[in-house]
Structure 1
Amino acid sequence: MTFEFDQAMALSAEDPGSFTGRLDGAWAIGPAVNGGVLMALAAAGLREVLGSGEVPHSDPLALSAYFLSAGAPGDIAVAADALRRGRTFSTGQAVLTQTGADGVPVERLRALATYGDLAASDQVHRSIEPPDLPDPDDCIATATARGKGPDAPPLMHRLDLRLDPATAGWAAGRPSGRGEMRGWIGFADGRVPDPVALLFFLDAMPPTSFDLGIGGWAPTLEFSGHVRGRPAPGRLRMQTRSHTLTGGLLEEDAWIWDSTGRLVAQSRQLCSVRIPESGPVIAAAGDR
């Protein structure tokens, strides 16, 4: 079986460190392809470069990305370079571009990442406990949370994302004002999650701004993600939360646990939001 995410991650090597691929509109929210897909493609290119050599490092451990423009469906180029190769860790840079209407390459994303071997993270000394969630069948599938069938954003049909009803009031016009979401996440076609997929999932949850009563998507300016372990097969639990909204900028923290309850990924990103004239919903102090 060919999985949709594997098709989206397909890269062809042109020269050492130079790859071509394609952004598929099936992974879009509105006109833009989800930023997590761009990060995962950059990570896939770096995996090819850093996963070769005398001491291969194939697992992304930390990735920081700056989004310079929105990715659109169409052809892409990924340039991945090794900046440092060590015995335990290697660091590289990836730049993802698309050709603009004038024929000039437009940079979409630039990322720095450190790679290693996640087998070294098998021993856990301290970790964050996963949130308690209702059974997946008692949660709200996001493919129908803001519309049904083809009316839902294409990205939502690539995911099996089920939100805890306690954090999904925004879908019915009743945001809580806490700036929090929790739920189960995985691929709709059943693909088993891996480290590169975790980087995608960290940016796949609806933005916490929805729970603050702020509609519209929240484009990411900067993202820093850490992969803490190879996820076990099965559903992932995910939680996102925001505490600060100033000047139209919102930070969003995310955590992902695998089916065994182990924390396998976490991130923080800075997003831009357009605040309505009425202002965001503010939760009561007792709700925090």
Structure 2
Amino acid sequence: MSQAAQAISADSEFDRDTSVSLRAPGVYDADLSEGWAILSAVNGGYLLAIVARALRDALPHPDPFTVTAHYLTPSKPGPAVVRTETVRTGRSLATGQASLFQYEPDGTEVERVRVMAAYGSLDSLGDDVRTLVKPPVLPPPERCLGTEDGPAAFPDDSGFSRRVTVRLDPATAGWAIGAPSGKGEMRGWFSLADGREPDPLSLLLTVDAFPPTAFDLGLKGWTPTVELTTHIRGLPAPGPLRVFVTTRNLAGGYLEEDADVWDSADRLVAQARQLARAPRETRVPGAR
């Protein structure tokens, strides 16, 4: 059995909380856990993993190759439904689309996320790799900064921060003490707090798990994602992931973030770009 085909583990909180149940052909019920919320909003990468799990069940190929999501309204913990549609099926790729809905108090469905995705089989890809990008050089995890290094730096105000282990390179964590670099960069280590090893679905969470690069630009506040596209480039090896997130342009109240994810074997296993709304012009104390 390939890594992508592994069954949902009862020991993995991520697997339990991204599980879906088939209600009718192409229709899946889900429950958005408050454990993956940041303040009152559910994390966008977690939502993407739920939709991707439903699409994996609906399509004939196991692995997401490219997933594009538009976030239409903020999602809240509670019941949800994912409606999928197969757009095209081929021998090596299948394309599908899906939307995640939640319910208003009167029972009206509200669309939260709309996704278009292509699925294939990652373990059937060739070994020819030609890349100019290199994994980020990071201090070892024990010399990086996490939630235990002080509530002022990493407020433990959400279930999300207790379900992932993010350890930031101190060189990109100056914003936490009022000294952002102005470069718009975040670098660090990532793993799931319960020890679950990475796979294609958890990579969709990884690319949206780090603090917003806007913090390193001297801004602080909610940075909602408008659109997120993720490319899964390979099956990740076991072990912690290295993540490098950067933004090169903030204009008109919006910024882009580019994320590269490397596995323990030094392979680039995921790439992502998102457009997000920049926080209000609330400066971090000491910002340049």
Provide TM-score, normalisation by structure 2.
Answer: 0.92
Instruction: Report what 1:53 is aligned to.
Output: none
Q: Distance in 1 between matches of 2:182 and 2:117?
A: 34
Instruction: Report what 2:252 is aligned to.
Output: 247
Note the C-alpha offset of 1:146: 4.5
Q: Distance in 1 between matches of 2:147 and 2:120?
A: 34
Q: For 1:40, give the aligned amino acid.
A: A
After superposition, the Cα gap between the structure-2 partners of 1:124 and 1:238, relative to the gap in structure 1 and judged at 3 Å, is farther
| 2:20 aligned to which of 11, 24, 41 | 11
Q: CA RMSD in A?
A: 2.0
Q: Does the CA-based 8 Å contact 1:24-1:73 persist in structure 2?
A: yes
Q: Which runs of 5+ in 2 are unaligned?
A: 1-9
Q: Which runs of 5+ in 1 are unaligned?
A: 51-55, 284-288
Instruction: Report what 1:186 is aligned to.
Output: 191
| 1:126 aligned to which of 108, 124, 130 | 130
Instruction: Report what 1:225 is aligned to.
Output: 230
Q: Distance in 1 between matches of 2:171 and 2:164?
A: 20
Instruction: Report what 2:55 is aligned to.
Output: 46
* Alignment size in residue pairs: 278
Cα deviation 1:227-268 (Å, max 9, x = unaligned): 000000000000000010001100000000000010000000
After superposition, the Cα gap between the structure-2 partners of 1:278 and 1:198, relative to the gap in structure 1 and judged at 3 Å, is closer
> What are the equivalent positions in structure 2 for 1:57-206 lying under 5 Å apart?
57-127=61-131, 128-142=133-147, 144=149, 146-147=151-152, 151-206=156-211
Q: Does the CA-based 8 Å contact 1:177-1:281 persist in structure 2?
A: no
Note the C-alpha offset of 1:153: 2.4
Secondary structure, counterpart of 1:171 in structure 2? helix
Q: Does the CA-based 8 Å contact 2:198-2:238 persist in structure 1?
A: yes
Q: Distance in 1 between matches of 2:280 and 2:220?
A: 8
Note the C-alpha offset of 1:204: 0.8
Secondary structure, counterpart of 2:130 in structure 1? coil
After superposition, the Cα gap between the structure-2 partners of 1:262 and 1:149, relative to the gap in structure 1 and judged at 3 Å, is closer
- Identical positions, percent: 47
Q: Distance in 2 between matches of 1:11 and 1:22?
A: 8
Moved more, 170-179 or 146-155: 146-155
> What are the equivalent positions in structure 2 for 1:253-272 lying under 5 Å apart?
253-272=258-277
